[in-house]
Structure 1
Amino acid sequence: MKPAIQIPDAVRDAVNGNWVDNAAPPSWRPWLRLSRIDRPIGTWLLLLPCWWGVGLAMMADRPRLIDIWIVIACAIGATVMRGAGCTWNDITDRHIDGSVDRTRKRPIPSGQVTVRGAMIWLIVQALIGLAVLLTLNGAAIWLGLLSLLPVAVYPFAKRFTWWPQVFLGIAFNWGVMLAYAAHRGGLDAAPIIAWLAGIAWTVFYDTIYALQDKEYDALIGVKSTARLFGDNARPYLIGFAVLTVILLAFAISATGVSGASWLIAMCGLAGFAAHLIWQFRSLDLEDADNQLMLFRSNRDAGLILSLFFALAGLV
């Protein structure tokens, strides 16, 4: 791992050398940090299921010219809506974040941004996301509006359940259904199964992430699967990884794809599974830097699947 960031006001888990800390105008930095532009992994993890949805839709149907815009719209939407979601999360968690070493330098608990200012910034980002959503078909628009419910609930989940990662997965993987519907005009079994697979994947990677904060979470009474699983985290993680792969295999089959396209999609799934195995074998339950590195590596796992799904759809 690279040495820790030395920029005084940088958030502890920001990516070393990121644009926000090193090049953005100082007056922009608190707002960009609220949107997690200095930590892009969350945007990737929100975007990649959307791209899975486009690939699955092409496998179930055929490639269409509109797919180019759906891919671009998902990228824009994932960036601004992840920013809006993180802003909402920081508003609701402002008192908790001030008690945790990893988060105490976030803009609200550190006093760089007021709650009122954060609310205005949230609305601006949400309006941009709405403008992008309105360029898609009616089914996608309704699904996009429905996604606001799990987004609104997620920040509170850690207060009432040991499974907040499931609520995160419900919200973060919604895009697989939205993007599929944007192509096909509706839903069927394939995107719904893929959404369930994404939820299992989220429990896998976000449990790894939550391992960093187990001690702090215990002190302040915040619940997580990392705390719930405790010393038995490894068998739970392998269980959710296996469930993810099985459900994705069912999602591929549900598209009705066959021949070379099926083989390409399954090769992508094999690559995705191999990445999860590597993460599991590399995990050090006592090393926070190792846990953060593995969490971030899920971008590559998701990209493998996105690439092969796109190839399968084009074939």
Structure 2
Amino acid sequence: MARKGYDFATPVRRILIGLLALFLFALFLFWRIDSPRAEAMRSEFVDRFVPGFEWAMTPLTQVTRMVSSLQSYARIYEQNQELRRELQKMEAWKEAAVQLEQENAKLLAQNNVRLDPSLTSITGQVLTDSGTAFRRSVLLNVGRRDGVVDGWAVMDGLGLVGRISGVGSQTSRVILLTDPSSRIPVEIQPSGEDALLTGDNSTLPTLDFIERPENVRPGDRVVSSGDGGVFPPDILVGQVAQDSEGRLRLRMAADYSGLEFLRVLRSHPAERLEDGGALVLPPEPGLIGPQLPPAPQLRPETATE
């Protein structure tokens, strides 16, 4: 068997790799030297050799541009699909709004409804959140000088927020519906069940004292009932929700995370009827108790005898 010759390739390869590593390390040190002379040499090197390698950088530049174009196209496609979905939703909402508007106009025309002109509002700006861990309230920049009265309802652009609880000359305090001391009567639609909305310091207050809970479903609309004269009726409060324990709660319609401007609803006490006699007639006077049987009538012959 012939012997293999001495392998010169391996030592040469090792020497070349070592020299390349030393060259790269020296180039790294040279590039890191903080000296005006080294900076001038580096600038001269870049100006002399880098433009000559532009042909080598052209494919990499083109590939980078293609990748950027593909990513931009993918983002545009996703945005286009999202806009299409939003447009479909808006078309559905538009159709529903048009139908509700037509239905409302028909009902108003048929019933000859007269809207209450006294239910106006005062818009105020939220100054600060004065709530604590045990109290949920905000301050408004409207007060007694603007005609605000204690107990008036307060809402944002969507639904009921709370009520006025404390009025100053220029500011007023609003107790939110999530405050533990908040109790308002509400009505659940379409079942018409009455309930009491109770704040418990959470974003989902509870619905208590429902006579027939089996008629209530998650997603039902909840409005103020107007019982007791606390709030005007038919103000949107939110939707019914159910927690993990099966308890009925309320998902608020108002955006509590961004309370900036609130509307204070002017509400006036209902007119009292002074004279009820014209409406309810008094009962006719008579004897109390069972009636006596009629007296027997005597014949004339019997009377003469």
Question: Shorter chain as normaliser: what TM range?
Answer: under 0.3
More helix by share: 1
TM-score (norm 2): 0.20
The structure that has the greater radius of gyration is 2
